[in-house]
A and B are shown apart, each in its own frame.
Chain A
Amino acid sequence: MEVNLYEGLPIVEAKGEIDHWRAPELEQKINEVIEKGHNKIIVDFSNLTYIDSGGISVLFLQLQKLKSLKGRLIVITSNKNIIKILSLVKITRQEGFSLCSDMESAKKNM
Chain B
Amino acid sequence: MNETYTEITLKSDPRNLAEARKFVEGIASKFGFNEEQIFDIKVAIGEAVSNAIEHGSPKGPLNSIKITACFLNDALELNVIDEGVFKRAIKVDDPDPHHRGRGIPFMLALMDTVTINETKAGTTVKLVKKLTKKQ
Contacts and interface: CB of A to CB of B under 8 A. Distances in A.
Interface of A: 17, 19-21, 50, 52-54, 56-57, 60-64, 80-81, 85, 88-91, 94
B47 A52 contact: yes
Interface string B92-114: 11011111101100100100000
Interface size class of B (residues with CB under 8 A): 20 to 34
Contacts of B46: 19-20, 50, 52
Nearest to A54: B50
Contact of A88 (B35, B99, B103, B109): B109
Nearest to A51: B43
B128 interface: no
Contacts, number: 67
State the main secondary structure of chain B at its contact with A. Answer: helix
A91 B35 CA distance: 24
A88 B36 contact: no
Task: Tell me the interface secondary structure of chain A in the complex.
Answer: helix
Contact of A60 (B18, B42, B43, B96): B96
Interface of B: 14-15, 17-18, 21, 35-36, 39, 42-43, 46-47, 50, 53-54, 92-93, 95-100, 102-103, 106, 109
Contact of B98 (A56, A61, A89): A61
Contacts of A50: 21, 39, 42-43, 46
